[in-house]
Amino acid sequence: MERERVLGKKVKTFRKLRGSKIILLTISVVFLFLVSSCGGGTAPPPVAPKAKTPVAERKKAQPVQVAEEVQQKEAAKKEEPEFSYNPVGKTDPFRPFIQLTAEKTPKSGFLTPLQKYDISQLRLVAIITHPEGSVALVEDQQGRGYLLRRGTAIGRHEGKVKVIHKDRVIVEEAYSDVLGQAKVNEISLFLHRPPEEGGES
């Protein structure tokens, strides 16, 4: 019973496929017939060259008209004010906002040991005040000490010691902002006093 049902399904499927194959074959034959019948016509007759007509005479007169039109356009251009762009006070739209520049070396050509460190890598250890001018002592991360006086070059960004107070040293660094204008940045190094020993019992 089940075999007959399966066999019946296969027969129905075969009949559907056979019907669709016949339709597909018919469409293919009609398409081929249409394609082959399109190319069988005769060639159109060649176009005979035309004799000179008044059109040719008009073309000869056109250069005179074109010259007159050009003169009229030039006269109109002279009447219009000529536009000129003045970039004074405006930012250049083609310059990048961020300028990547190499680190500047000092004008003397060589770096002192203090100019090889960033200011944040130095620690203020002592300040000696004197009427003739105060002196400060800074240490690097290895514990090496360097003396600072007013005007001493310090840091990677051309910093100079501006003022030495009793509890801090002020360093002034010059830099360029994104618009290329020179700016000044003041950095303070504060005196770190060691904690007193034996204060609590």
pLDDT tens-place string over residues 143-200: 899 999 999 999 888 889 999 998 899 999 888 777 778 888 899 988 876 666 555 4
For residue 195, is it within any domain? no
DSSP secondary-structure letter at 152?
A: -
Among residues 51, 158, 144, 60, the alpha carbon closest in space to that of 104 is found at: 158
> Using CA of residue 127, residue 128, residue 130, residue 133, what is the dihedral sign?
negative
Total count of domains within the chain: 2
For residue 65, is it within any domain? no
Q: What whole-number distance in Å separates Cα of residue 138 and Cα of residue 188?
A: 13
- Per residue in 42-94, pLDDT (tens digit) is 555 666 555 555 655 666 556 667 778 887 777 766 666 677 888 888 888 88
For residue 71, is it within any domain? no
Q: Which helix (H) or strand (E) holds 11?
A: helix 2-38
For residue 96, is it within any domain? no
> Using CA of residue 194, residue 196, residue 200, residue 201, what is the dihedral sign?
positive
Please report, for the domain that includes residue 183, its CATH number. Answer: 2.30.30.830
Q: What whole-number distance in Å separates Cα of residue 184 and Cα of residue 174?
A: 5
For residue 168, is it within any domain? yes
For residue 41, is it within any domain? no
For residue 74, is it within any domain? no
For residue 88, is it within any domain? no
Task: Identify the domain containing residue 172 by its residue range.
Answer: 113-190
pTM listed for this prediction: 0.44
